[in-house]
């Protein structure tokens, strides 16, 4: 079976397709609608959005118009990073559900341990409050799995110490070269699944000479190497593209990178992302 059609099983038994379609940085409206439509047409059954991307409405429309049964598509959204209280989290969730126009969502996660505008701020108490609101919605059956994103081991420890439901996932920026070993081994130990956003380093990884060398060995593109690498690491990559040929190419990862080439990819070091 193609990787695209395979699933991982989360710590509560919910199945999640191995490759997700990332929608960060796709403009709301027609761009998102078209991209998600193309992704679904080409076999993706896992779509990742967020309140913060402002494109949930277009994601929901594309899913409904696809004609594919709602239960066949795994949808993730995220609680905005600045919402760190119980009532605020409940309200934000209703906003998400209204935008998507769904009865339930598959995965809802706290977007970050701190507001994007105050990165590093201690919001431990607020994260517990927001997470408790998500636990309530989870127990009511409105969310099939809850989790976190961009959480460090100590941020997760705080949730484990004060809440009941072990997060199903931690969605982190993970790609060839970035060192996420501490977070990954902590999450593995606790049964928290790793989802990998920016699997291509938002595109900046694709001209890396080592990745290109390995790509030539397998006669695939650098993007396919980046995605396959994350699959072999046992994570769920969430590649984003607005171009159909790339949307298709990013699902064509049914080859095996040999141990020696995985070791070569491990020699890539650093974070190539540029933010300007
Ligand atoms: P585009 O959307 O114009 O196709 P990430 O998934 O790490 O966030 O990377 C997304 C970036 O990589 C986007 O700029 C996207 O551009 C580009 N991209 C996605 N898939 C491919 C591919 N197969 N080949 C080259 N660039 C790609």
CA 202–ligand 1 middle distance (angstroms): 6
Look at residue 248 and tell me if it is in a domain. yes
Is this prediction's pTM over 0.75? yes
Closest CA to 50 of 74, 24, 26, 73: 24
Q: Is 199 in the pocket of ligand 1 (CB under 6 A)?
A: yes
Residues classed as catalytic = 53
Is residue 257 within 8 A of residue 51, CB to CB? The reply is: no
- Residue 107 forms part of a structural domain: yes
**Taking CA 31 as the corner, what is the angle to CA 110 and CA 276, rounded to the nearest 5 degrees?**
65
Instruction: Please report the atom of ligand 1 found closest to the CA of residue 224.
Output: 23
206 lines ligand 1 (CB under 6 A): yes
Helix (H) or strand (E) holding 74: strand 74-79
- Give the domain extent around 83: 3-203+235-256
How do strand 169-173 and strand 143-149 relate by DSSP bridges? parallel
Ligand 1 pocket, mutate which of 53, 203, 211, 274 (most atoms under 8 A from CB): 203
**Domain assignment of residue 270, yes or no:** no
d(CA 186, CA 152): 9
Residue 276 pLDDT grade (very low, low, confident, very high; cuts 50, 70, 90): low
Examine residue 142 and state whether it is found in any structural domain, yes or no: yes
**Number of domains composing the chain:** 1
Contacts 24+ apart (CB under 8 A), 210-213: 210/264, 210/265, 210/267, 210/268, 211/176, 211/265, 211/268, 213/264
- In contact, 208 and 222? CB cutoff 8 Å: yes
CA of 95 from ligand 1 middle (Å) equals 29
Residue with tokens 């066949």: 72
Q: Give domain status of residue 214, yes or no.
A: no
Residue 181 lies in a domain: yes
| Ligand 1 atom closest to residue 25's alpha carbon, by position in its atom list | 8
Query: What's the gap between Cα 104 and its chain centre?
Result: 18
Q: Is the CB of 203 under 6 A from ligand 1?
A: yes
| Contact 239 CB / ligand 1 (< 6 Å) | yes
Domain for residue 218, yes or no? Answer: no
pLDDT tens per residue across span 87-120: 999 999 999 999 999 999 999 999 999 999 999 9
- Testing ligand 1's pocket by substitution, the residue of 199, 239, 244 carrying the most ligand atoms inside 8 A of its CB is 239
CA 126 from chain centre, in angstroms, equals 22
- Phi first, then psi: give them for residue 221, nearest 5 degrees: -90, 160
- For residue 186, the domain's CATH number is 3.20.20.100
Query: Can you tell me the distance from the alpha carbon of 160 to that of 147, in angstroms, rounded to the nearest whole number?
Result: 11
Question: Cα separation of 79 and 42, whole Å?
Answer: 28
Q: What is the pLDDT of residues 30-81, one digit of tens each?
A: 999 999 999 999 999 999 999 999 999 999 999 999 999 999 999 999 999 9
Q: What DSSP state is assigned to residue 192?
A: P
Spell out the alpha helix ranges (H) of the chain.
30-41, 56-66, 86-100, 124-139, 153-162, 181-190, 209-218, 222-232, 244-249, 259-266
Residue 274 lies in a domain: no
- Nearest alpha-carbon partner for 264 in 220, 221, 229, 219: 229
Q: How many residues does the chain have?
A: 276
pLDDT digits 0-9 by tens, 227-268: 999 999 999 999 999 999 999 999 999 999 999 999 999 999
pLDDT tens profile 116-175: 999 999 999 999 999 999 999 999 999 999 999 999 999 999 999 999 999 999 999 999
């Amino acid at each position: 079976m193609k990787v695209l059609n395979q699933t991982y099983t989360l710590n509560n038994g919910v199945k999640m397709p191995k490759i997700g379609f990332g929608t960060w940085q796709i403009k709301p409206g027609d761009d998102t609608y078209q991209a998600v439509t193309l992704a679904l047409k080409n076999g993706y059954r896992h779509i990742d959005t967020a309140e913060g991307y402002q494109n949930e409405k277009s994601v929901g429309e594309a899913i409904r118009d696809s004609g594919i049964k709602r239960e066949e598509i795994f949808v993730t959204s995220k609680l905005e990073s600045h919402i760190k209280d119980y009532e605020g989290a409940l309200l934000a969730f209703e906003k998400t559900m209204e935008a998507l126009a769904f009865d339930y969502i598959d995965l809802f996660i706290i977007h970050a341990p701190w507001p994007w505008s105050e990165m590093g701020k201690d919001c431990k108490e607020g994260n517990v409050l927001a997470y408790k609101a998500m636990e309530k919605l989870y127990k009511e059956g409105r969310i099939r799995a809850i989790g976190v994103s961009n959480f460090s081991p100590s941020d997760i420890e705080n949730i484990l110490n004060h809440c009941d439901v072990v997060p199903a996932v931690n969605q982190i920026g993970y790609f060839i070269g970035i060192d996420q070993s501490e977070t990954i081994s902590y999450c593995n130990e606790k049964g928290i699944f790793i989802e990998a956003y920016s699997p291509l380093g938002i595109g900046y990884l694709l001209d890396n000479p080592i990745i290109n060398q390995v790509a030539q060995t397998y006669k695939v593109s650098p993007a396919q190497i980046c995605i396959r690498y994350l699959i072999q690491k046992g994570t769920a990559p969430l590649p984003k593209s607005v171009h159909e040929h790339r949307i298709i190419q990013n699902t064509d990862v049914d080859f095996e990178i040999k141990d020696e080439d995985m070791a070569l990819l491990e020699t890539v070091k650093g974070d190539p992302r540029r933010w300007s």
